[in-house]
Amino acid sequence: MATLTKVKGPISIGGGMKIACYNLAFDTGYPSGGEPIDLTGEFDYVYAVIPAGNDTLADNGYKAQAIQPAPATAVSSSNVTITLHEVGSAGAMTEFSTTDASAIGQCSIVVIGF
């Protein structure tokens, strides 16, 4: 399982909303369906999860994508995930085809929620 490390936050941005930044370090155990990230200790509801690419992702034709619950659905330890995709010919994207994502290193993630 990848390691999630808090960089900063959560910090109040008004109206009860919070923002935080994390680093997600990928390892040799990338699961099919994506890496779950546990935000339960810091967010009750998540409205945006924004993964930032890195040079290794871009140089190897990979993209990171966030999958999050619907806005009215409470955060659980497994319903927010970061998935990796390979960009193939003509821009077609397929799910990452290996369990070893350690060469990708880490990507930053910005989370906004309550």
Distance between CA atoms of 97 and 23, rounded to whole angstroms? 22
pTM of the model: 0.86
Listed as own residue / partner, the contacts of 83-89 with beta carbons closer than 8 Å and 24 or more positions apart are: 83/33, 83/34, 83/35, 84/26, 84/30, 84/34, 84/57, 86/61, 86/62, 87/61, 87/62, 87/63, 88/61
Which residues neighbour 99 within 8 Å (Cβ) at sequence distance 6 or greater? Answer: 28, 29, 30, 31
Cβ pair 65, 85 in contact under 8 A: yes
pLDDT by position in tens, the chain (length 114):
789 999 999 999 999 999 999 999 888 888 888 899 999 999 999 999 998 867 777 777 788 889 988 878 999 988 999 988 887 766 677 878 777 888 887 889 999 999
What domains can be seen in the chain, in order of their start residue? 3-113 (2.60.40.3940)
Q: In residues, how long is the chain?
A: 114
